[in-house]
Structure formats: structure tokens, C-alpha cells
Amino acid sequence: MAACATATRGLQQLLVLSALGFLATSAPQPPNIVLLLMDDMGWGDLGVYGEPSRETPNLDKMALEGMLFPNFYSANPLCSPSRAALLTGRLPIRNGFYTSNGHARNAYTPQEIMGGIPNSEHLLPELLKKAGYTNKIVGKWHLGHRPQFHPLKHGFDEWFGSPNCHFGPYDNKVKPNIPVYRDWEMVGRFYEEFPINLRTGEANLTQLYLQEALDFIKTQHARQSPFFLYWAIDATHAPVYASRPFLGTSHRGRYGDAVREIDDSVGKILSLLQNLGISKNTFVFFTSDNGAALISAPKEGGSNGPFLCGKQTTFEGGMREPAIAWWPGHIAAGQVSHQLGSIMDLFTTSLSVAGLKPPSDRIIDGLDLLPTLLQGHMMDRPIFYYRGNTLMAVTLGQYKAHFWTWTNSWEEFRQGTPGDPDSGTHFDWKGIDFCPGQNVSGVTTHTQEEHTELPLIFHLGRDPGERFPLSFASAEYQDTLSRITQVVQQHQKSLIPGQPQLNVCNQAVMSQSCCLKKVLGLHIPRFWKA
């Protein structure tokens, strides 16, 4: 059986390599790779996913010309851990992008966090360099803001963007505004050299990010160099913004304006690839880092379609994402794949596109989706839903089992502090509600409810909104529980958590230097002054 399985995998690899043209006598230039990662964009924000305004013609066309994934997931319901998972192919619990400060606590990389992507992790751009790729990140990095975490120290050759989101504005006394970089040089700050008008929503950032992408593609094409473009823009993260030509053009308000500008930008990127004659040699994938932030809705947040809750939760609305693959001449047009996909798969799939293998010295959670993209193959795999250091849920096939349920605390929910905890921005509504208008008794709880003995199990095909758990006494429940239990046990046996990078300390009782040592167990670097 083992020999047969090995032979089958070998045949699949040969078929994929043949489809890519890598078996020719004279090897062609490796395909270019373009990953388009949105920020807080929901599953239901695109026309092709049923958004009624139908204001995303370019993305809808991209889906018609490629492959649409209805069942594609983030690795975490928050920005930083999701991005770390994409670039390492590993769950945040493995690569260190989580916190152990509290059970099931979300965490990211604000200015108060000293951690970042560990040097021990192998990032996608580092590995692509081995195949001669030139790598550029445009937009939001979010994997640490201290010098040792700079993207140019982790495989990227160029960067235009910020280590964080466009939080602010700050008073520049206690806390400065977030910097914007071109490579190693800080070229300004949000709300200063790069203005964002919170009253009108006007900002020219998406146009700047678009031009960076177009110029990079043109330059690498002229050099005949294979390239990796990681276009990680943040216009749909509250406070949402758009440039003047798009403001007021959407039926959906300011958030829709931002989506329309993104759609227009994606159209221009794909058109350039076609006009340069390199679309057939460029793999493009569009997705989002986590679900829409319903705490910012309706004015500043998107739609998660029929799914429950949103960003910061491990319900479907927090982690199921829009996803489109586009590669003319390789991916047949007009396909819909029900393969369970993960943002971590983009790491492994991109390496496969480049003719590279993933690192063999560690567990890689991302799958190679090329057999799915090129031959329509389906692969069995689980989806693990982590929140901080806690495995909250698992999906296997059509079934999802919740071991813990929680939205946010009663204290947060009742205190009525306005704003998005991930942005530091204040809006004109009250309350912190991750699931507005979606209360499901016993499911969307404000206390951490444990279900490890008898998980809540939903059939996502029949019940995508996670409203009707299976009866504990049913044969369907018992069979599903048995299969999922085996998957979880196998996962836990192989799990070695990474050093947590997103812990925070109480600055009122500890000096910054002591805090840094306690959180990361590191020596104080020379550039840090306590």
C-alpha cells in the first residue's frame, strides 16, 4: 500500500510538472507569482459570491476566467497571525504568532508588542530567492515593527508600505503616527505625508499601492526576471478609505467605495499581465486575511454572507474568505472547487509553482493545491480554527465541531466602548459586538463555554450559519465525532507550539526592558533603549 501511494504521488507530481512545462528540454523561466491579500474583506463582499450590488466586475471576471473557492479559510480570525501563516505555511500556534497571556485570546502586532516573525521561520520570499525570484511587498507587513523583523531581512527585495495598519491619527507626543517605508527608508507617516481624511474617507493610498505594483511588474518583465508580488493593501480595514474618483460611487457606502477601488485596481493588474504577454506565465491568487469586521459595520465593515459572526471569532464569518485563482492557459476558466482550502496553502502552492519543495525539517500545514487547480483533484484535509493558544473548532468535510464557543466578554460587550480593537479608531456607534443581529443561543456566548467532551457539531452544507447543532444522540453525530476525534488527537501529538511572539506585559508594573525579556526570553538588542 505504501509503495502504491508513493507511486501515485509521484505520478501526480509528474502530471503537474508536465502541465507547467518544467519537463521540457530547455527549462523556461519559472512562473511569476502574484498574491493579492485584502484586509478584513468578507466572503460576501464580491458579486460572484452573491453581493447584490454587483460592484466588483473585475474580480467577478477573474473568477469566470479562473477557479472560485467557496470553502477557503484563513488560519486565524485576526490580521497578524493570518499573515504569518500565509508566509510560513504554518499555523500561528507553530510559528509563534499567538499569545499565552490568556485562554483563547486574540493578539496582533500593535506598537506595544515587541515580538515578530522569528528568524527560525522560513518565509516564502526567502525560499523563492533560491529559484531566482525578485520579491516585493506592497502595503501592510504586520509581522513585527522592530528592525530585526523588517521584511527585507526576511526575503523581500523591495517594500513600499507600513509595518502596521493605518491606525491613528495619534498626537505624536505619547505615540507617533505609523511610519511608511520605501525599502529601508522611512518616507513619511500616515495622516501626515500620507493623509487620510477620517471625515470624508478620502485617501490616495490604494492608487499609490496600485502604481507600485504596476511599476514592479513592468520592471521585472523588462529584466526577464521571475517575480513574486505580495500586494497586501488595507483599504477595507476600518477606517476604510478610497481616492476621490471612487468616493460616493457605491450603493454600499464608504466601505463599498473602497471595494470598488480595489476591484478596479485588480482589473488593472490583470490587464497589465495580459498586455505584457505574461499572463500565461503568472499565477495570481486573491483572498483576504480574515472575515469582515462586523464590529465596524455597516458603515466601516463588509459582509460575511450567510455565515455567523465575523473577524475575531472562529465562527465561519471570522475565517471563511473569498478566494479566486487565476492562471490563463493552466487553470481552466469558469471552475468552482469545493476543496477545503487554507491561506497556508498559498505558501506550499507558490513553492510548487516555482518548482520548489517546502522545508522538510518542520511540519508544514499548507497543502499544494496545484493538483486541484490544474486537474480538479480533491484532497481530504481538516481545517483547524485557533484563537490565540486554543483550538476552538475543527472542520472535516462538511462537518464542523466546536470545542469552545466564545464571541467576546460580557464586560467588553456591555461597556459600550466604540471602535475596532484592531485599529484604535473610534466610530459613531456603541458597543463591541462581533456578531451584531446574530445571537444564537448557546453558541454566540459571551463567556468561554467548553464543549471538549461533547462538541457542538454542525453540518455546514445544510447549515452554513451554524444555527442548528446535530443531536448528540444521532448516529450522524456519533460517527462524525469519532472521525474528528482521531484527527484532533493526531494533530495534538505532532504539535510543538512556537515561542509566543504576541504576549504583552503590564507596563505600569514592569520596565520595558524587563517586559521584553519576560515576554520573549530575549537579550535586549543594542538598538533598544529601556
**What whole-number distance in Å separates Cα of residue 154 and Cα of residue 168?**
27
What long-range pairs does 267-270 form, CB within 8 A, spacing at least 24? 267/57, 267/58, 267/61, 268/210, 268/214, 269/34, 269/36, 269/210, 269/213, 269/214, 269/217, 269/231, 270/58, 270/62, 270/326
Q: How many CB atoms lie within 10 A of CB 186?
A: 11
Look up 435 and say whether it is catalytic. Answer: no
What's the CA dihedral at 233, 238, 244, 249 to 10 degrees?
100
| Block residue for cell numbers 496600485 | 210
β partners of residue 262: none
SS3 (DSSP) at 150: coil
Helix axes 254-275, 57-64, angle to 10 degrees: 50
Contact 155, 129 (CB under 8 A): yes
The span from the CA of 507 to the CA of 515, in Å, is 7
Q: What is the C-alpha end-to-end distance of the chain, expressed in Å? A: 60
Bridge partners (DSSP) listed for residue 393: 385, 402
User: With contact defined as beta carbons under 8 Å apart, do 90 and 83 qualify?
Assistant: no
Question: Kind and range of the H or E element at 224?
Answer: none
Residue 377: which of 7, 8, 6 has the closest Cα?
Answer: 8
Q: Is 514 a catalytic residue?
A: no
Query: What residues have CB less than 8 Å from 245, skipping those under 6 apart?
Result: none
Q: Report which of 138, 111, 203 is spatially closest to residue 423, judged by C-alpha positions.
A: 111
Among candidate residues 79, 309, 435, 505, the one labeled active-site is 79
Catalytic residue among 122, 142, 330, 446: 142
Q: Tell me which residue has cell 476604510.
A: 240
Upper half-sphere CA count for residue 250 (Cβ side, 13 Å): 31
What is the 8-class DSSP label of residue 530? -
- All three cell numbers of 205, joined, read 493610498
Peptide bond into 163 cis (omega under 30): no
Q: Cβ atoms within 10 A of the Cβ of 121, count?
A: 21
Residue with cell 523561466: 29
DSSP string, 336-389: E----EETTHHHHHHHHHTT----SSS-------HHHHHH------EEEEEETT
Helix axes 205-223, 254-275, angle to 10 degrees: 10
User: Which residues are known to be catalytic?
Assistant: 79, 142
